[in-house]
Amino acid sequence: MRIGILAAFAGRNAGGPETYEVELLRALAAVDQCNEYHVLCLSDKAPSAFGVRQQNVAYKVMWPPFRPVSLLTSVPAAMIRRGLDLVHATFMPPPISPTRYIFTMVCDSMFQHPEFYPAAIRWRLQGLTRLALRRAALTICISQSIRDNIRERFKVPEERLAVVHLGASPKFRPIPRPENLEFLDRTYGIRFPYFLFSGRWEPRKNLLRILQAFAQFKGRFPSEVKLVLTGLRTWWAPQADALISRLGIEGEVVDLGKSPVDELPFLYSGALALVFPSLWEGFGLPVVEAMACGTPVITSNVSSMPEVAGRAALLVDPYSISEITEAMCRIASDSSKRQELAAEGLKRATTFTWDRTARQTLDAYERIGAPN
């Protein structure tokens, strides 16, 4: 088959959606040298972000660089010129598609929690997603949670839905303590124990309650423990900054900005725990990445996170500041619990690999097949 992959985020430093596109193509290229892959890139930096150079993978950067225009013009034109049998829209469906396509539903929070989004973004995401759910030959859901919600809300037939979990790159592994301590000191000046938050500064990541819980933790558990934040600051960041100031914890919170992916295994490995009680996630990739590094995880008991974490994390009500605080206190005070969660997490993480994601995605391609 000639398979097109519509890459909306690769090369844009876009966090989870970019990770999905990049790791999926790399894993597909590793397991499949028979089908042709034509990657339709909405950024000129995408080919270097993928870094895959082999005979059955070709790239085409769409023009013009203004995505709404290229989605309506150069993307459908490229589908025709390249004679594609199937297109995989990994996040953003093509408004016009002369070729059958598979759509990946990476998050349903725009429907479950529309209040998390500014109106213009919410309307665009909802509109494009509804379009894709109507027209896609198959929708890949990255969690059972999304699949169940979509089937109930939009009445999509079961045969047009599939669940394919995401994975953790092999780079996410436990880093030996001496090596890790040296890297953290040299790179970030971190010489103290810390909880880690990894994610974009936006409402659904629940950073305000994390900050309040951490302030309560410091009141109950005086120590050198700090809260380290890594992730992209967004339009919403000033609210978090204002809360940090009101709580008087400026000296206890360390904002690293968005760390390079290659440095995340060190940050995970050095943390007492990942604190990730998000209000809603399609999958929750940081949970798996932290577990793969042998790091205890505090996460939510809603949406996909119990599905991903299993018994290998402390699950809390993300709306309860006291539950988040209590989980922090337990992690900080109970070394045996940390060891237990680390061991369970390492075991759990082995079930989430990009190789498995690629093989199940390839099964989906073959299930839809070439048109008659």
Q: What is the pLDDT of residue 370?
A: 57
Domains for the chain: give ranges and CATH numbers.
Answer: 2-167+353-368 (3.40.50.2000), 177-349 (3.40.50.2000)
Is the pLDDT at 62 greater than 60, yes or no?
A: yes
Is the pLDDT at 318 greater than 60, yes or no?
A: yes
Is the pLDDT at 371 greater than 60, yes or no?
A: no
Percent of the chain beyond pLDDT 90? 95
Q: What is the pLDDT of residue 13?
A: 85
Q: Nearest to residue 278, comparing CAs of 230, 315, 244?
A: 315
Is the pLDDT at 362 greater than 60, yes or no?
A: yes
User: 291-313, pLDDT tens digit by residue?
Assistant: 999 999 999 999 999 999 999 99
Q: What is the pLDDT of residue 15?
A: 85
CB atoms within 10 A of CB 130: 13
Cα 114 to Cα 49, 82, 110, 216, 245: the distances in Å are: 31, 38, 5, 29, 28
Structure tokens at 364: 């989906």
Say if residue 320 is exposed, middle or buried (CB neighbours under 10 Å; 0-12, 13-18, 19+).
middle
User: 63-116, pLDDT tens digit by residue?
Assistant: 998 999 999 999 999 999 999 999 999 998 999 999 999 999 999 999 999 999
CA of residue 126 relative to chain centroid, distance: 19
Structure tokens at 358: 């690629």
Q: What is the pLDDT of residue 125?
A: 93
